[in-house]
Amino acid sequence: MDAFFHQVIAGLATGGIYASLALALVMIYQATHLINFAQGEMAMFATYIAWTLVEAGMPYWAAFFLTVAFAFVFGVVIERIVIRPVENAPVLAVVVVFIALLVILNSVTGWIYTYTIKTFPSPFPAEPIFGKYLTSHQGGAIAVTLVVLLLLFAFFRYTPLGLAMRAAAQNPESSRLVGIRVGWMLALGWGLASAIGAVAGVMVAPIVYLDPNMMGGVLLYAFAAALVGGVDSPGGAVFGGFLVGVLENVLGAFVIGNELKLAVALVLIIGVLVVRPSGFFGKVLVTRV
């Protein structure tokens, strides 16, 4: 029982990270109806920036916030330069751009930093909290995730800019008619998604270690999380993230073994797509003909 409890809590910690990345995916999906395959690599690149800053002697939290700010600007710039030109292109063309972005970021990072695996510092003390159940880093990661989610919720729910971003994602034409600069709202969405991804990257790096391929598995879990929750539902993505994290850990520890953990994500993805494509919280699309 003890071991089970331990696995659940560890699952919540990684689940929070999946939830953040899933949320980033959902944000882009809501505005563009496309899944940004490069979301993980963008987060990975930002994590390397954080590593560079920390290595250069910057205090951890200063490096953290600077990295998040960098990731935000990075996201905006990518939207403006890479995504904007293919705004009206066919879906496949955009998907190719996403995949190109993934490969480019991966190889550029490998080229700059080499593919050697690096350790990444955690800002949280080494001794565990809550007895033996939770390492401080796990507890800290959960806390950071919750703060990010709360801030994001408050931003979208209570600020005029958040409202305008939701409006622009839903109904671009009406948004223009009330004076919202829809193009900039999309760019802002990319910036936010990228910043959230950076937080996820920095939080997961002490666990999976830093290397250019670190986000591959994480992104797959985030896909599964977004799909389980419903790919158009931010709340669903968060729920899905925690659920996937717990399932992955518990099943990995007691049922299928650690080697097959990633298969959990794949089975979930296929299972959801077959049984309930709209996920737990997604809207079921009904079209009148």
Interacting residues toward another protein by CB under 8 A: 160, 163-164, 166-167, 170-171, 173-182
- Of 183 and 217, the one with the shorter C-beta distance to another protein is 183
- Of 56 and 178, the one with the shorter C-beta distance to another protein is 178
Question: HSE (CB half, 13 Å, CA atoms) of 167?
Answer: 17
Contact of 281 with 50, CB cutoff 8 Å:
no
- Of 44 and 187, the one with the shorter C-beta distance to another protein is 187
Alpha-carbon torsion, ordered 143, 146, 147, 149, to 10 deg: 160
Compute the least distance from the CB of residue 114 to another protein, in Å.
46
- Of 41 and 232, the one with the shorter C-beta distance to another protein is 232
- Of 28 and 207, the one with the shorter C-beta distance to another protein is 28
Compute the least distance from the CB of residue 175 to another protein, in Å.
8
Q: Tell me which amino acid residue 82 is.
A: V
Compute the least distance from the CB of residue 166 to another protein, in Å.
7
- Of 23 and 46, the one with the shorter C-beta distance to another protein is 23
Compute the least distance from the CB of residue 173 to another protein, in Å.
7
- 270 three-class SS: helix
Compute the least distance from the CB of residue 195 to another protein, in Å.
23
φ, ψ of residue 118 to 5 degrees: the values are -115, 155
Q: Tell me which amino acid residue 185 is.
A: M
Compute the least distance from the CB of residue 78 to another protein, in Å.
23
Q: Could you tell me the CA-to-CA distances from 145 to 43, 148, 194 in Å, in that order?
A: 15, 5, 15
- 262 three-class SS: helix
Helix residue spans in 130-214 (DSSP H): 136-158, 160-170, 172-177, 182-208
Q: Which two three-digit tokens encode residue 272? A: 């959801």
